[in-house]
Amino acid sequence: MSRDLSAILARHQHDPLRLVQILRDVVEEHGFISPGTITTLAERLSLPRGRVEGVAGFYAFFPTENAGRYRVLFSDNITDRMAGSVELRQRMLEAFQVRDGEVSRDGLVSIGTTSCTGLCDQGPAMLVNGRAIPRLTRARIGSISAMIHGQAPLDTWPANLFDIHTHIERKDLLLSTPLAAGAAIDAAIARGPDATVAQVKASNLRGRGGAGFTTGVKWEMCRAAPGEAHYVVCNADEGEPGTFKDRVLLSDYADLVFEGMTVAAFAVGAKRGFLYLRAEYPFLLAPLEATLAERRKAGLLGKSIRGVADFDFDIEIHVGAGAYVCGEESALIESLEGKRGIPRNRPPYPVTSGYLQQPTVVNNVETLAKAAFVVMHGADWLRVRGTGRSAGTKVLSVSGDVARPGIYELPFGATVREVLDLCGATDVQAVQVGGPSGMLLSRSEQHRRIMFEDVPSAGAFMVFDDSRDILQVLENFASFFAHESCGFCTPCRVGTALQRRMLSALAKGYGTRRDLKDLARVAKVMKASSHCGLGATAGNAALDALEKFKPAFEKRLGTLEVMPTFDLDRSLAPAREVTGRDDDEAHLSHEEEE
C-alpha cells in the first residue's frame, strides 16, 4: 500500500496544494482513505494530520471507511426521482440484501445516493466507482447487478452503458457561431489587453454561473491588481441540481471554452489557468485533456502563444470530489489549494486575492465561451440579443416533465411560456428556474422572463406537471442543501438541517401550522446571516412555495396547531421489543383521540 502511495505522491510532485487530487487517486486505487493512509500522507506532505483528515472528511466522494469494491451512488435529484430512481435503488438494495448507504457484509458493494450528477436530461443516473451511467432502467439495473455479483471489473462492462448523450434542442448566438481555433486569441492579440478588456466590458457580458457580476469589470479589476502572478480559473463545478449546460459546452465546445480562458489570461496577464471540473463528469476528463494537448501542439497554449513574447499560458484540470459549495468561487479556490471547500471571508475578493492570495479571475464555463466570441466579433456580437441589463443569450438545461429535455439557448428576455412550448411541456404546475437556489414559479407566472431583471437563472429549468407533489420537490431540495452545507456558519449549518427535518415531516403529513411559521423563520435567518450564497438561497424554494403553493402545505397539516415532531408510537417500539408488550398502553396515538 505504501508503494502505491509513493507512486501517487510522486505523480503529484508531493505538492500539498494537490491534496484533493492526491486523495482522488487514493480512492481510485484503494476504494477508500484509511486512517493509516491519512497519517502517511500527512507525513510525506508535511501537513498536520488533522488537516489531511479534515479534507478527506469534507468531500462526498472520499470514503474514509471501506465502502465496498463497487460503490454505487444513485443521483438523487428530483428529476431522477421523477424518472423512477427510488424504485430502481430499492430493487438493487434488495438484490444485494444491503441497507441504504451501507456496505454489504462481504465487502462487495455499497449502494447510496449522491447529489444531482448533471444527467437530468437522461436520468435516472448513477455513479459506479465514480463512473457515470445514465438512462437507468430495470434492465440496466439488472445487468449492472449481475456484473457486480460476478465481480466483473468496471473496464469490462459494456461501453454503451457509459455513453452520455448530448441533446441540443435550440441553438442561438453561442451555440451556432463557428470558431476556428485560435481566432479569438488572434483577435485579442490584435486588440491588446486593455482593448480586450474594454470590449468585454462594453458587451455587458455578465457571469452565467448565477451571480451575474459583469465579466469585463472582473477582468479589469484582476488586471489592475498587483501580484506576483495572476490566475484564470474556469468554474466547471456545475453542481446546481438540474443544471447540465456546462457539461454539454465542455463536451461539444471545449475548444471555445479553452479559447475563452486563454483570452482571459491574455487580458489579465495570467500564466496559469485551472479548469475545476466537477467529479461527476469524469467522462469529460480524457477528451478535455486531448483537446488541451492538441491546443498545445497548435501553439495555442504554452510558451509565446501565437509568437507573442511573454504570452505564456497553460491550463491544468483539477477534478473536484463531490461538494456543491465549491461552485462558490472562493471555496473553489480553497479546494484548488488542496483544502476543505470553505468560502472565504470577502473582501478581499479573488480578483485581488484569489489562488495563493494572488489576483485571480474565476469565470463560469458559459461566460468564458461567450467572452471568446465577444473578443473575436466585438461587443455588439452579444448585444444584438437580450435586454438592456441582460445582454445576449442564456443556455438553459431543461428537464423534468417535458417531451424534449436538453439544452436550449434562448435570448435573455424569453418568457417561461416560450421555453415550455419549445420543450413540449403540458399541464405545468410549477417550474423551478435556476435550480433549488433559484425561483419556484407557479402556473400563473409563465409570462415572466428569464433575465437578470426578472427571473435570473444559472441555467436550470426543471418542470413539474400537475401529477407532482410540490412538497416532495421541496423535501428533495432541502435534503440537497443540508447535505451540501459546508457547515462553516451557524445559520446554514443548522438552518439547512432544520429545514430538511421540517419539510420531511410536512411531506409525510406530520406537519403543523407551527412548522409553516418555523420554515419561513429559518429561511429568513439563513437568507439574512449566511456566510455565502449557499445558505442565503437555501430557503428560497420553501419561501416561494409558502407563498405560491400554500394549499399544498395546508392539505397535509394535522388538525392540531402543534403535533408531535416525531413518531410517538414508533418511539415506544424499542421498549415494546424488550418487554414483549403489545397491549393498548404500550402504544401512543399520533393525534390524540378526542
Partner 1 sequence: MASEKKKLRVATTSLAGCFGCHMSLLDIDERLLELLKLVEFDRSPLTDIKHCGPCDLGIIEGGLCNAENVHVLREFRKSCKVLVAMGACAVNGGLPAQRNHLDIRDCLQTVYMTGTGIRRGFIPNDPELPLPLDRVHPLHDVVKIDYFLPGCPPPADAIWHFLNDLLAGRTPTLGHGLIHYD
Partner 2 sequence: MAGAEKPMFAMDGNDVPFEPGQTILQAALAAGRYVPHLCFHPEFKPHGSCKLCTVKINGRTVASCTTLAKQGDEVESETPEIQDLRRNLVQFLFVEGNHFCPSCEKSGSCMLQAVAYDLGVMAEHFSPFFPSRPIDASHPDVLLDFNRCILCELCIRASAEVDGKNVFALSGRGAKKHLIVNAESGRLADTRLAVEDKAMDVCPVGVILRKRRGFQVPIGERKYDQHPIREVAVGKATARHASGKPSPQGPSKEGA
Interface with partner 1 (CB under 8 A): 514, 560-566, 568, 571-581, 583-586, 588, 592
Q: Cell 484582476 identifies what position?
A: 222
Query: CA angle, 137 as apex, 132 and 139 as ends, to 5°?
Result: 110
Q: How many residues bind partner 2 (CB under 8 A)?
A: 43
Grid cell digits, residue 21: 487530487
DSSP helix/strand/coil, 110: strand
Contact status: 101 vs partner 2 (CB under 8 A): no
- Helix spans in 440-584 (H): 470-484, 490-508, 513-529, 533-537, 540-548, 550-554, 573-579
Task: Specify the stretch interacting with partner 2 by CB under 8 A; choose among 91-99, 151-159, 360-368, 495-503.
Answer: 495-503
Residue 127 vs 489, nearer CB to partner 2: 489
Give the footprint of partner 2 on residues 291-350 (CB under 8 A): 323, 340, 345
Contact status: 24 vs partner 2 (CB under 8 A): no
> 304 contacts which partner out of partner 2, partner 1, none, CB within 5 to 8 A by kind?
none
User: Least distance to partner 1 from the beta carbon of 168, Å?
Assistant: 52
User: Least distance to partner 1 from the beta carbon of 156, Å?
Assistant: 44
Task: Specify the stretch interacting with partner 2 by CB under 8 A; choose among 217-225, 466-474, 518-526, 579-587.
Answer: 518-526
Residue 469 vs 592, nearer CB to partner 1: 592
Contact status: 48 vs partner 2 (CB under 8 A): yes
Residue 50 vs 107, nearer CB to partner 2: 50
Contact status: 287 vs partner 2 (CB under 8 A): no
DSSP helix/strand/coil, 351: coil
Among residues 258, 488, 549, 553, the one that binds partner 2 under rule CB under 8 A:
488
Contact status: 497 vs partner 2 (CB under 8 A): yes
In angstroms, rounded to a whole number, what is the distance separating the alpha carbons of residues 508 and 472? 9
DSSP state of 309: T
Q: At what angle do helices 365-377 and 183-191 cross, to 10 degrees?
A: 60
In angstroms, rounded to a whole number, what is the distance separating the alpha carbons of residues 128 and 75? 11
Residues written for the chain: 594
> 574 contacts which partner out of partner 2, partner 1, none, CB within 5 to 8 A by kind?
partner 1
**R_g of the chain computed on alpha carbons:** 25
> 54 contacts which partner out of partner 1, partner 2, none, CB within 5 to 8 A by kind?
partner 2
Q: How far is CA 485 from CA 316, 477, 495, in A?
A: 27, 12, 10
> 562 contacts which partner out of partner 1, partner 2, none, CB within 5 to 8 A by kind?
partner 1
Grid cell digits, residue 182: 485560435
Among residues 12, 17, 32, 54, the one that binds partner 2 under rule CB under 8 A:
54
User: Least distance to partner 2 from the beta carbon of 128, Å?
Assistant: 24
Say how many C-beta atoms besides its own lie within 10 A of residue 236's C-beta: 28
Give the footprint of partner 2 on residues 526-585 (CB under 8 A): 528-531, 565-566
Contact status: 489 vs partner 2 (CB under 8 A): yes
- 169's enclosing H/E stretch is strand 168-170
Binding mask 428-467 for partner 2 (x = CB under 8 A): ----------------------------------------
DSSP state of 450: B
Among residues 378, 487, 533, 558, the one that binds partner 2 under rule CB under 8 A:
487
User: Least distance to partner 1 from the beta carbon of 567, Å?
Assistant: 10
Grid cell digits, residue 337: 489549494
> 107 contacts which partner out of partner 2, partner 1, none, CB within 5 to 8 A by kind?
none
Among residues 36, 101, 192, 287, the one that binds partner 2 under rule CB under 8 A:
36
Of the candidates 334, 365, 345, the one whose C-alpha atom is nearest the C-alpha of residue 209 is: 365
Q: How far is CA 424 from CA 125, 401, 404, 418, 427, in A?
A: 22, 9, 6, 10, 10
In angstroms, rounded to a whole number, what is the distance separating the alpha carbons of residues 423 and 155? 36
Residue 170 vs 344, nearer CB to partner 2: 344
Residue 14 vs 514, nearer CB to partner 1: 514
Contact 277, 289 (CB under 8 A): no
Of the candidates 188, 275, 253, 174, the one whose C-alpha atom is nearest the C-alpha of residue 223 is: 188
Grid cell digits, residue 317: 484540470
Q: What does the binding site for partner 2 look like in residue numbers (CB under 8 A)?
A: 35-36, 38-39, 48-51, 53-54, 56-58, 323, 340, 345, 482-491, 493-498, 501, 518, 521-522, 525, 528-531, 565-566
